[in-house]
Chain A
């Protein structure tokens, strides 16, 4: 089963990379952008076949390694 995770920076954490991407988009003519925030995306292929169990495992992975909860939020995408 494949489970996806999106990690984003929390709202009050400065994202200089997102800012530069925003500026560059602006320079390219995409001048209606309000803000860009950069994040991370993971695809985890697990042997677990039970949906809930797999999600619980991935949540544990997020808390222990994939995200740093001081600055980041994680969102687990429901497997299809």
Chain B
């Protein structure tokens, strides 16, 4: 399986993602934002970080960079595109997934482990994951998912919510919402579910001695689903 991780100026989780993808069997290539063409890929990842210094709005400049036209075409033709954290912010700015990510409700940068409940398994990202709840890491200042009422209705009608913030037992309540996101949304799909944007970092949970294993579950499962 071939993957590509796009590096934007200010990306800083691109190499972690490279390590994670390779660990679970992907042949990964790093792709520079100013390149025009994507290498042949089964999965494209927009990594976390602070592309373009978060100027204007997080992800807004990166969404207009040269490589993104190829990424958008790839996604529109059914290609798997995953945006993590800043990558999620870039995805919403391209319009590939609906909504926006606002400043966290309490105006603080949040860096901690959270639990998320998988809302939908009828997709290549979460199909066959045995767990209902994953423990993943978040680190962001703008992760407060927001969309219009019309968009929310569409998202719910199409079952586009991928994961919700919850407690360790999968209970989705306000008190387990770290950043003020509508409906505790931590990640969403596009309508066709080949594009996934999420705030949590699975690539930070792939080593038991450093963190946890739930990211490993995610990547092992992902590569099997793509084969």
Contacts and interface: CB of A to CB of B under 8 A. Distances in A.
Given A65-B60, A68-B57, A68-B93, A16 B147 contact: no
Given A13-B146, A14-B180, A65-B60, A70 B99 contact: yes
A23 to B, nearest CB: 11
Interface string B74-117: 00000000000000000001000001101111110000000000
A65 B64 contact: yes
B210 interface: no
Contacts of B100: 68, 70-71
A76 interface: no
Query: Majority SS of interface residues in chain B?
Result: loop
A17 interface: yes
A65 B55 CA distance: 12
Interface in B150-202: 151, 180
A17 B107 contact: yes
Contacts of A6: none
Interface string A22-56: 00000000000000000000000000000000000
For the side of the interface on B, what is the size category? 10 to 19
A70 B105 contact: no
B103 A16 contact: yes
A66 interface: yes
A16 B148 contact: no
A71 B103 contact: no
Nearest to A71: B100
Nearest to A19: B107
A1 interface: no
A14 B100 CA distance: 12
